[in-house]
Structure 1
């Protein structure tokens, strides 16, 4: 019975959690962090919210699983940091992180100006499609705090990217025949 519950959970969350990790980790680390995440999910299977319900509700299960993946990714980053410090000490050289993708350089630069938590909140909202309640579960904040931080971060990003909030995407202002 435990194996069947775990298999159902993996079928539901493996793809979204892998996409979550691909956006946040080096490609070489994604599979390892995903495996660590699945191991934690197996060990804490009884703690997964909504797992006893049939059918599984992604809105209940995914935020908790993203939180587990976030913790596993943090552990992997700490381990990688320790490994890099050792290599630096041994080789007496420094290593620079690769630059963000060129086609999204402005976005990555703007995201880089946000604090780590605000950046994570924006990415959970934009790329994972989580509502503030789900983001709150992942980050440990209250839904209200998430909403406030998300609003401020979006406003900051819009200003940095030179976009105006009062113009909808794809809408052109001042064209003839566009008035209703």
Structure 2
């Protein structure tokens, strides 16, 4: 985070960056770690390259950001999600030498249990995540892993905030029903 006691808001920086490219630089410093984590949990072998692509795409399309539609952080995660989707599509069409390390053109949920802290519940969590519709799964993981608010996660997946909250509640309830002992708290938030 910026050490300035009153840092310029991300949204202001992104708007300014449309005409002042140097205003984009603090965004890279503020959000690279979180975006890299998002990518590394989904495509570990390609995360560094994907992060570079995220920043290239975000910079190239910075003029499309509309602060009235949501936070800059959510917009950046949306760019990351689109870059990741294109990566998986390319991998499905033309698996390269790192194909063994990456999912075969789809979300890498077969490896989720290896990345969760709740190892004892890994198989149940894996099965529960695999059963969720893709948008619900993505919302849940954006909130749990990436620390986005439900409103920010809604902007990332391109649905209204109320719909996202409803789907997030439904996803949590489905996973809660799989685990009766509460070991899913760190993943789903307020289980009780």
TM range (shorter): 0.7 to 0.9
| Partner Cα separation in structure 1 for residue 64 and residue 165 of structure 2 | 26
In the superposition, the TM-score normalised over structure 2's length comes to 0.68
| Partner Cα separation in structure 2 for residue 144 and residue 107 of structure 1 | 25
Inter-CA distance 163–155: structure 2 relative to 1 (3 Å threshold): farther
In the superposition, the TM-score normalised over structure 1's length comes to 0.72
| Partner Cα separation in structure 1 for residue 181 and residue 175 of structure 2 | 9
Structure 2, unmatched stretches of 5+, are 1-18, 97-103, 183-192
1:30 aligns with 2:41: no
Matched ranges for 1:22-171 at <5 A: 22-25=40-43, 27-49=44-66, 60-84=71-95, 99=111, 100-101=113-114, 103=119, 104-163=122-181
| Partner Cα separation in structure 1 for residue 132 and residue 62 of structure 2 | 34
Structure 1, unmatched stretches of 5+, are 51-58, 86-94, 165-180
8 Å CA contact retained: 1:110, 1:157? yes
8 Å CA contact retained: 1:18, 1:34? yes
Report the alpha carbon displacement of residue 46 of structure 1 after superposing the two structures with TM. Answer: 2.3
Deviations 1:90-120 (A, max 9, x none): xxxxx8x765418233322221111111110
Inter-CA distance 48–15: structure 2 relative to 1 (3 Å threshold): farther
| Partner Cα separation in structure 2 for residue 146 and residue 163 of structure 1 | 26
8 Å CA contact retained: 1:20, 1:128? yes
* Cα root mean square deviation, aligned: 2.5
8 Å CA contact retained: 1:135, 1:146? yes
- How many residue pairs end up in the alignment? 146
